Chains A and B, each alone.
Chain A
């Protein structure tokens, strides 16, 4: 979590809100577009910057994957809680 904080801070908020799937799809689109080599230089540069931000976002999503196993508890009044579970 601490390691991922700086990288996520440098990601624009609109990208940070994207799901992994959407971010990856947009990254692929930008890469294809740049590989075709068309368009204005300014656009290409801003696309590149956005691409690197998307890549950081995707990478962060992949790297902070952490297994966490909780077990649901239901109290007498129906309130749902969770406590760490250990299952091998």
Chain B
């Protein structure tokens, strides 16, 4: 079938016109007829086309179908990819992706639309694919998935190795052969598809599955994982560029070696793995050391261990023998000591006699130097006489000295200073006399004035002023004031004093007195008032 439909001759439409109208030879269709004719025509003509264009507005429906548009700078075609086809696509439709799509055209009569049913999709050239991968790589790197600090060391000698690859083909054989050459190990193969629609999901599940195995379970947990695939085109290796595979690799707790494609192929899993092997065989070499070499090394160590331990012992034995020779003969040592003992014993007896002799000589010397008491008395007497003489002389000298001092002092003794002080005293006495008189006169005058003032004040407080206002003072004959009637008795002689200091003698006469005594009794009743004035 040709794809160059522009150059194809226009399709000859069978003009079946049921009822041509008068005046027109054009057939008349119903809308449905026309739409069906168009549909058939388009489906026949464009039953298998290959279109290149840019994906625009891809929308994945919940049903699993994907609706999108293909466009270039002049036109747009609606396109749909059914769910069954979607899962088989090598690439996922993404906005702006330049793709080459194969499929068939159809129409949707209900809406006067036509659309392309997509059967397969590929990227329009390496450039576009690489650009997409570059973009994805940049994004995952920004998340830190490729950080060197995340990378785990590969164990020196893993007991169990998990291999994720296709169970058939050269890759697994290469790995197993190289492992058994170097160091046979327990290998767990997790079979996966390494290309196509299911590959990415299966590889992801395998990495996660191996990590889920717990130590001590029926299936041993691997110490190391190898994800491997042989060489292929960029599209063949696409599964190992998928985001879920890269994320599972970065998240693996078990160290992981990636070996995808050949040396020149680099997929995104290689950036996320702990170690990248250029080939599956190289991955096996990284996984295990060479057993033979290690065995040789251990045997060499054993030989050296034996040799050095033997040498060490021989050396020590030689030294012990050498030292034993140096110890010498014990009898010779003993004889030397016996001789020294004899020598000391002999010197001991000699030394005692010599000591006694030395003491005796010393006693003789001391006795010779002792003096008789008579000599000592005579010598003391002489010393006493000498000192008495010296005492006598000293006394005489002291008397002479005292006399001369007395003479010097007597000469200096005189009455003049005393006379001066007498004259001075007389003068001062003469001076003081008039001052005394002046001062005394002044004091007398001051006191006189004060006395007058007090006299007046006293007078103002005196009972006499009260008497002057008409009251009389009652006194007994001894001059003591009578201040209460109780102090009186009938027949008591009293004196009445008046304001002008005149006096009247009276006698108290009891209760009902004579008329002339009445005023006196009245005066007497006034006495307590006066008493309060004192």
Contacts and interface: CB of A to CB of B under 8 A. Distances in A.
A74 interface: yes
B209 interface: yes
Given A31-B301, A81-B218, A81-B219, A24 B294 contact: yes
Interface residues of A, number: 38
B229 to A, nearest CB: 16
A69 B291 contact: no
B234 interface: no
B130 interface: no
Given A37-B315, A59-B295, A67 B187 contact: yes
A66 B184 CA distance: 5
Interface stretch (B304-312, B352-360, B390-398): B304-312
B157 A69 contact: no
Given A34-B308, A72-B188, A80-B209, A24 B298 contact: yes
Interface SS majority for chain B: helix
A35 B304 contact: yes
Contacts of B305: 27, 30-31, 34, 48, 51-52, 55
A68 B222 CA distance: 13
Interface in A15-37: 19-21, 24, 27-28, 30-31, 34-35, 37
Interface stretch (B105-113, B117-125, B175-183, B235-243): B175-183
Contacts of B534: none
Contacts of A34: 304-305, 308-309, 312
B189 A87 contact: yes
Interface string A25-61: 0011011001101000100110010011001001101
Interface in B158-194: 162, 167, 172-173, 176, 179-180, 183-191
Contacts of B185: 65, 67-68
B301 A27 contact: yes
A5 interface: no
B189 A70 contact: yes
Contacts of B301: 24, 27-28, 31, 51, 55
Contacts of A19: 156-157
A31 B316 contact: no
Interface in B203-221: 206, 209, 212-213, 218-219
Given A44-B312, A69-B176, A87-B173, A58 B298 contact: yes
Contacts of A41: 312, 316
Nearest to A47: B309
B302 A52 contact: yes
A24 B176 contact: no
A44 B157 CA distance: 30
A62 B219 contact: no
B183 A74 contact: no
Contacts of B315: 37
Contacts of B489: none
Contact of B219 (A35, A55, A80, A87): A80
Interface in B412-465: none
A88 B174 CA distance: 9
B57 interface: no
B191 A67 contact: no
A85 interface: yes
Contacts of A24: 294, 297-298, 301
A80 B298 contact: no
Contacts of A66: 184, 186
Nearest to A48: B309
A71 B186 CA distance: 11
A88 B302 contact: no
A73 to B, nearest CB: 9
A33 B295 CA distance: 21
Contacts of A58: 294, 298
B257 to A, nearest CB: 18
Nearest to B189: A71
22 contacts: A19-B156, A20-B156, A24-B294, A24-B297, A24-B301, A30-B305, A34-B312, A37-B311, A41-B316, A59-B298, A61-B157, A62-B294, A65-B184, A66-B186, A67-B179, A70-B187, A72-B162, A72-B190, A80-B209, A81-B219, A85-B167, A87-B173
Given A71-B167, A72-B188, 16 more contacts: A21-B155, A34-B304, A34-B308, A35-B304, A58-B298, A62-B298, A65-B184, A67-B179, A67-B180, A67-B184, A70-B188, A71-B191, A80-B209, A82-B219, A87-B167, A87-B173
Task: Report, nearest first, the 5 A-B pairs whose CB atoms are least far apart.
Answer: A67-B184, A34-B308, A21-B156, A68-B186, A48-B309
